[in-house]
Structure 1
Amino acid sequence: MEHLLELLIFRYGYVGLMLALALGIVGIPVPDEALLTYSGFLVNNGTLHMVWVMLCAFIGAAAGITASYGIGIRFGLPFLLKFGPKLHMSPAKIERAQGWMNKYGNFLLFAGFFVPGLRHMTAYMAGMSRLKLRTFMLYSYAGALIWSTLFIYVGYVLGERWLTVKHYVHHYGSAFIIYGAIAVLALISWRVLRSMRKVKT
């Protein structure tokens, strides 16, 4: 996998990152978290620039989830039931995602990014339910921004140990991502608050 990511980034650069994430969100099997974390590692060693990585990652994730939303509006549930299995979305997963969407509503568009498999379906569900575009953008784009930034930052901090994330995501799934997200966000908040205190003093 590492060689595949290297090929993708070094051959296509920032555009490759953006397109891969967009396709990954739509449902094509792309190792999204690994790609983001690896990009953070490349920022760490000076190969890529942090601002461009964050911008392209956000645009890619936002484009992918918006495309899924549009497909949901245009083609609805029949499309998802027909082509979902080809995108690793079984009827059981679709039914489960519908139940979660009905229970947790718009917030799932945000939180769904942190649950592998779920983020591929929430936008389809939002489109099928005719959720207003403004509401969709508010929740889903916020999720895309925080999710992509989080894993880029983790890769940047871990450096050459970035593959650790792949190992834990594979073995512990969404629980690792959720608790890891909380921990990293807490760390970022602590650093920001500490910087603000230093400025005041």
Structure 2
Amino acid sequence: MTIEALVARYGLAALLLGAGVEGETVVVLGGIMVQRGSLPYVGAILAAAIGSFIADQLFFAAGRRFRDHPRVVRWRGKPAFVRALTTFERHPTLFVFAFRFLYGLRTVSPVAIGTTRLPLARFAILNGSAALLWATIFVSIGYWFGHGLSELIGRWLPSWQVLAGGGIAFAVIAGLTWWWKRRS
């Protein structure tokens, strides 16, 4: 089964889930599917924005609910967490709006922000606005550069088996990295 067939079968739901779990790569692929006519442009943007918004709201809620949990307390000492909180304290509104665009801070930031006193409603409004902008940018990148990206991806990933194998390899490597870091 080809990537196009997967998108044709699962469409915007796959983009929504992928945007929340993986991020930019899936959303750019969604833009490529828009360029190919497999997905509607506005629908792709909304699916990506909603997926990203939901994931960040869940991370924020986890940070708020588990701020005193030993694992979150341990995370507070990690460099990315410290960077996120330091930047948040200097420019809270700008940081909430921009964290999804900052490499290395996308996942940890909503958890870190959840440990602060920022009201949920304010986070939700800023997060929703930022998710919509982010989705528009990355779907548009896939749309505008879709033809060239499609050829590049077509050469590297000719079938869903290669894609599935790469995903499994990534999951194994990520799991081993997490386990190794946790041991240390």
Q: CA deviation at 1:90?
A: 8.3
Whose RCO is larger (CA < 8 A, sep 6+)?
Answer: 2
> SS of the counterpart of 1:116?
coil
Cα 1:34–1:163 shift into 2, 3 Å: farther
User: What are the within-5 Å matches in structure 2 for residues 152-167 of structure 1?
Assistant: 152-162=139-149
Label 1:99 to 1:15 Cα distance change in 2 as closer, same or farther (>3 A): same
Counterpart of 1:106 in 2: which secondary structure? helix
Note if 1:137 corresponds to 2:137.
no
Corresponding position of 1:61: 52
Deviates more, 1:61-70 or 1:42-51: 42-51
Preserved contact between residue 21 and residue 60 of structure 1 (Cα < 8 Å): yes
Q: From 17, 33, 36, give the equivalent of 1:19.
A: 17
Q: Is residue 79 of structure 1 aligned with residue 66 of structure 2?
A: no
Q: Which of 101, 104, 113 is the matching residue for 1:126?
A: 113
Mapped pair 1:149 → 2:136: yes
Would you say 1:111 and 2:102 are equivalent positions? no
What residue is the counterpart of 2:173 in the other structure? none
- CA deviations 1:2-39 (Å, max 9, x no partner) are x8x6686355321111112222xxxxxx2x22211111
Matched position secondary structure for 1:118? coil
Q: What is the deviation of 1:97?
A: 1.4
Cα distance change on mapping 1:136 and 1:20 into 2, 3 Å:
same
Query: What corresponds to 1:187 in structure 2?
Result: none
2:38 paired residue number: 47
Q: Do 2:31 and 2:41's aligned partners in 1 also have CA atoms closer than 8 Å? A: yes
Unaligned runs of 5+ in 2: 154-184
- Report matched runs for 1:29-40 at 5 Å: 30=22, 32-40=23-31
Q: TM-score when scaled to structure 2?
A: 0.71
> Is the alpha carbon distance of 1:128 and 1:6 closer, same or farther for their aligned partners in structure 2, counting shifts above 3 Å?
farther
- Which residue is equivalent to 2:78? 91
Q: Which amino acid aligns with 2:100?
A: F
More helix by share: 1
Root-mean-square deviation over aligned CA pairs: 2.7
Question: TM (normalized to structure 1)?
Answer: 0.66
Matching of residue 9 in structure 1 with residue 1 in structure 2: no
**Contact residue 58 and residue 145 of structure 1 kept, 8 A:** yes
**Aligned-pair CA distance for 1:117:** 2.1
Opposite residue 54 of structure 1, the aligned amino acid is I
